Structure 1
Amino acid sequence: MENITQLKALLGVPKNIVITTHRNPDGDAIGSSLGLYHFLNKGGHTVRMITPSEYPENFSWMPEIEKMVVYDIDPEYSQELVEKADIIFCLDFNALDRIDKLGDLIEPTKCHKVMIDHHLYPEGFADFLLSDTTASSTCELIVDFIHLLGMESDLDVKIGECLFTGIITDTGSFRYSTSAKLYRIVGELVERGVDDYKLQDLINNSMKEKHLRLLGHCLNNRMEILEEYNTGIFYLTKQDYEDFDIQRGDTEGIVNYLLKIKNVKMAAFIMEQPKIVKISLRSKGDFSVQEIAQKHFKGGGHKNASGGFSFQPLETTLKRFKGVLPQYRDKLAAAVI
């Protein structure tokens, strides 16, 4: 991060700070927001968190998550907080359109803006930028940020648990996007008192009965394997959403089950939601799904985890996805796992 000295000086005096993250926040978005929130509170700042939409219920155990302001529920209070902010931290997104109407509020403000993110192609709206596409997660970068400030002694258990949570979820419990540096970071967090076993249990072993029944439905009734393209597909219909009472976060992680099949190198989860069809893509090894998401489905993300959307009907979107696969047949066949 360039001009870290200037940012450190700004943070040396208590400020009104807003932390925001992307719509439909996942574990990394929530963990990085809460971790930074608790860290900045130690510096005597007045800190508020705003998310464009509600967070998944399965993260409700995280410390002080209830203090997150949801723009969709309270846009007027969100606007008031943005207008009063001296500094706005933008976490786990690389463009203001990723936070919808909240981005329209933030863009014209004169306050200092800080982006901390690990996605490709960050927009240039921030005054301070910490961007690393090789990082496992934004939570990993928050640890880097605290070290850059020379304030690692402030990393306590509460901050560490939040950041460890985002690292677990964005790496699929350390199955991908790992590095020697990441393991040094999580080792540091454990040394500071983080109970990684407890966190793994809270994150991975807190399903409701309906979650397992939904997974069974996907495996038994909504799975298609395209062997010639080393690709697996799950899909859900609007009726499935009603039958299983699918709420925000209920489908998290299901797409990864396709990658358990030996020769499947790319997995797609295509979900028919009320207004759009959402596409979640995952891959193994050196095959990148980022290009498919960006080029064909107005999305983006990372090499092994990306997403997009379509305004076409589910059947049309499925056909369209299958239609692009011949372009990637050779790359998928040659991909090294």
Structure 2
Amino acid sequence: MDVNPKSGLYYMTGGFYIVIIFLLGIITFFVSPHLAGAEILLGLSLCVFNYIYKKHKEKKISDMFEQMTLRIGSATHNALMQFPLPTLIVESSGKIKWYNELFCESFAENHLYDKMISEVIPELDTDKIFLDPPVPVQTTLACNGHTFRVFGSQPQNEEKNSIVILFFDEITEYADFKQKYHEERPVSCLIFVDNYEELLESTANAFRPHLEAQIYKRINDWTNEHGGVLVKYEKDKYSVLFQYRYLEKFVANKFEILSQIRNISEGNTIPASISIGVGTCGRDIIENNEFAKTAINMALGRGGDQAVIKDNEQLSFYGGNSKEYEKSTRVKARVVSVALSGLIENANNVIVMSHKVADVDSLGAAFGVYRMCRMQDKPVNILLESYDQTVKNMLDRLENVEEYSGLFLNVQQAAARINGTTLVVVVDTHKPSLLEAPSLLKKAGQIVVIDHHRRGAEFIENTALIYHEPYASSTCEMMTEILQYVTKKISLTKLEAECLYAGMVVDTKHFTFKTGVRTFEAASFLRKQGVDTIAIKTMFQQDLSTYIKRAMIIKDAEIFRDHIAVSSYNEIEENIHITIAQAADELLNIKGITASFVLSKTERGVNISGRSLGGINVQVILEKLGGGGHMTIAGAQLSDLSIEEAREKLYQAIDEYYLETVN
């Protein structure tokens, strides 16, 4: 319908002439009233005509827009009816208000008007559709063996019951292909037999071939059962390639191959076990293989007999509940001794660093490094800023010894002496977050790590040498073995030998836990260096108040799951962590108790010290709370929690552990 573009001009000029006529009428009224009356009558006639004409024009425009709207609505309706995708209009209340034929065909439904969408498509998550404020809809729907990409929009509408237009694009073929690709992705797996040499030595010659054959057979059967490809590339090392679909089964079964290997009995006096490293979700098979190498190193570093899965986001641990067995060979200690001597020789100076709140094991190991450096006339210092009471007792004995004057540095002093030619030796920890000054590692020329704690996900990077032996009783034992293979004949001072010996005493609980043949051999070597065992006992003496606190903690212990003792100390005190650790040890002396946990309040939260006789893996339990340690000795720190809240979390972690180990 045409519209006269001059209409607006008419409205303007018509009104103008009417005003002129009225003005003329007023002026001529005083000259000729009759003429003025005629002029005013003409003006009124023009006003009436102008009003009628304006209304007529507005109606014509309104009719035009109404017809245009009807045409557009009809076009939109036809477009929706003929749209090549299933289409649905639904109110925010969930009632279906319109749908096309393709929707009926896709969902085998008819007569859907005013039905609830939740009845027609119960699989559709309506929370992702009706949003406030409205946003474009984008979700996926799996229904009756088909997969749809659901998209649409919710127009801005102030009405209480607004509408949403939904389109259903079937992507079943794409989804199936994607799922197939996901399931068939290659996964790299490395399997190492733990303590292979020691395992064979524990087996009579006549049974060794049977033992080796059984290990291979069970690994091979496990691989074939899951469609994998097995390659034995060394006598105790295997590589496996399998599809991702089987990994979920392994996880659900908690890698049953671990227990199958442990159950092998072919005359071996120590149980057979394997470590498994799995790499998945990498960019390609090469990255998966690198992930598998990282995972197997982690499994070995945590004591073996477990599986570790590494993807591009995290590490997951399974197993690790068996007792660690000592390695009888000292080949690695000999190799490390030579390598460490070379690194010391090439450095301008050496800084020895340990964890925060240093204990006597870290101090003893630091003295071992100190003696190696002094034998090579290399400047060496020990970074020591925070430490426990036992270390303080040792430092009091060193105070007046001239040789150790200026040996110990605080963080600021160490930062001033470290540079690109400095060798930093980290002892008794491998976690950067536990170091006294982790920022100093970035300034060091080279880094060495010597530690006996079971490996966690966090590890110091860019190291020149790693001596990580979770089978060892203590870092002092490891350092003592290294000293025995130094080219020159070693000569420790009495104080240095006693500090190394004291470190072994602490970590073995007076040669009770994790004590093997090599532990006693190291202790024997130190005894020959002049260790006074009475002086060692004196070093660990405590005052009466500490003894009473420990007795109170033991008195307040609760028994959980029949044989786990749990107690706590609610006062914030300096060095209370030592007291709770000792109380946890003492609780194991109670008949029927196989594991113990003691909690203490700190300014930041709660500390937990865990101990075990070996049947329960306290490390696995406390790892669930962010802690770590060994199978029989572990700890954790929980921030911003009360004792009661931390105790509840501990009980939950113990329950989870039992659920995992039983199943």
TM bracket, shorter-chain basis: 0.7 to 0.9
- Secondary structure, counterpart of 1:130 in structure 2: strand
Give the C-alpha shift of residue 42 in structure 1: 3.5
State the distance in 2 between where 1:10 and 1:202 align: 34
Give the C-alpha shift of residue 58 in structure 1: 3.1
Q: Is the 8 A contact 1:287 1:332 kept in 2?
A: no
- Secondary structure, counterpart of 1:154 in structure 2: coil
Provide the residue aligned with 2:473 in structure 1. 136
State the distance in 2 between where 1:289 and 1:105 align: 32
Letter in structure 2 aligned against 1:208: D
Provide the residue aligned with 2:600 in structure 1. 271
TM-score (norm 1): 0.85
State the distance in 2 between where 1:251 and 1:82 align: 36
Give the C-alpha shift of residue 172 in structure 1: 0.7
Matched, 1:16 2:344: no
Q: Deviations over 1:162-212 (max 9, x none)?
A: 110100011111111100111111112112221223212322xx2112111
Letter in structure 1 aligned against 2:572: Y
Provide the residue aligned with 1:180 in structure 2. 517
State the distance in 2 between where 1:304 and 1:123 align: 24
Give the C-alpha shift of residue 83 in structure 1: 3.4
State the distance in 1 between where 2:577 and 2:410 align: 14
Letter in structure 2 aligned against 1:129: I
Matched, 1:59 2:386: no
Provide the residue aligned with 2:111 in structure 1. none
State the distance in 2 between where 1:281 and 1:123 align: 25
Letter in structure 1 aligned against 2:544: E
- Secondary structure, counterpart of 2:345 in structure 1: coil
Provide the residue aligned with 1:82 in structure 2. 418
Query: What are the residue-to-residue correspondences of 1:205-224 with 2, within 5 Å?
Result: 206-220=541-555, 222-224=556-558
Pick closer, same or farther for the CA change 1:6–1:325 going to 2, 3 Å. Answer: closer
Q: Is the 8 A contact 1:291 1:300 kept in 2?
A: yes
Provide the residue aligned with 2:380 in structure 1. 47
Matched, 1:325 2:659: no
State the distance in 1 between where 2:410 and 2:545 align: 26
State the distance in 1 between where 2:580 and 2:408 align: 22
Provide the residue aligned with 1:115 in structure 2. 449
Q: Is the 8 A contact 2:368 2:480 kept in 1?
A: no
Query: Which of 625, 633, 638 is residue 297 of structure 1 equivalent to?
Result: 625
State the distance in 2 between where 1:250 and 1:258 align: 12
Alignment: residue pair count: 317
Matched, 1:241 2:576: no
State the distance in 2 between where 1:159 and 1:40 align: 14
| RMSD (CA atoms) | 2.6
State the distance in 2 between where 1:3 and 1:265 align: 36
Query: Which stretch shifts more, 280-289 or 177-186?
Result: 280-289
Query: Which of 529, 533, 536 is residue 199 of structure 1 equivalent to?
Result: 536
Query: Which stretch shifts more, 143-152 or 270-279?
Result: 143-152
Q: Is the 8 A contact 1:18 1:85 kept in 2?
A: no
Give the C-alpha shift of residue 302 in structure 1: 0.8
Q: Any gaps of 5 or more consecutive residues in structure 1?
A: none
Give the C-alpha shift of residue 109 in structure 1: 2.4
Provide the residue aligned with 1:310 in structure 2. 638
TM-score (norm 2): 0.45
Q: Is the 8 A contact 1:91 1:117 kept in 2?
A: yes
Q: RCO greater where, 1 or 2, for CA within 8 Å and sep 6 or more?
A: 1
Query: Which of 482, 490, 503 is residue 166 of structure 1 equivalent to?
Result: 503
Q: Any gaps of 5 or more consecutive residues in structure 2?
A: 1-331, 400-404
Pick closer, same or farther for the CA change 1:250–1:34 going to 2, 3 Å. Answer: farther
Q: Is the 8 A contact 2:554 2:583 kept in 1?
A: no
Q: Is the 8 A contact 1:32 1:142 kept in 2?
A: yes
Q: Is the 8 A contact 1:136 1:178 kept in 2?
A: yes
Matched, 1:68 2:399: no
Runs of 4+ in 1 over 6 A off after TM superposition: 330-333
Q: Deviations over 1:243-302 (max 9, x none)?
A: xx65564444121111111211111111110012111111012421111121x2111111
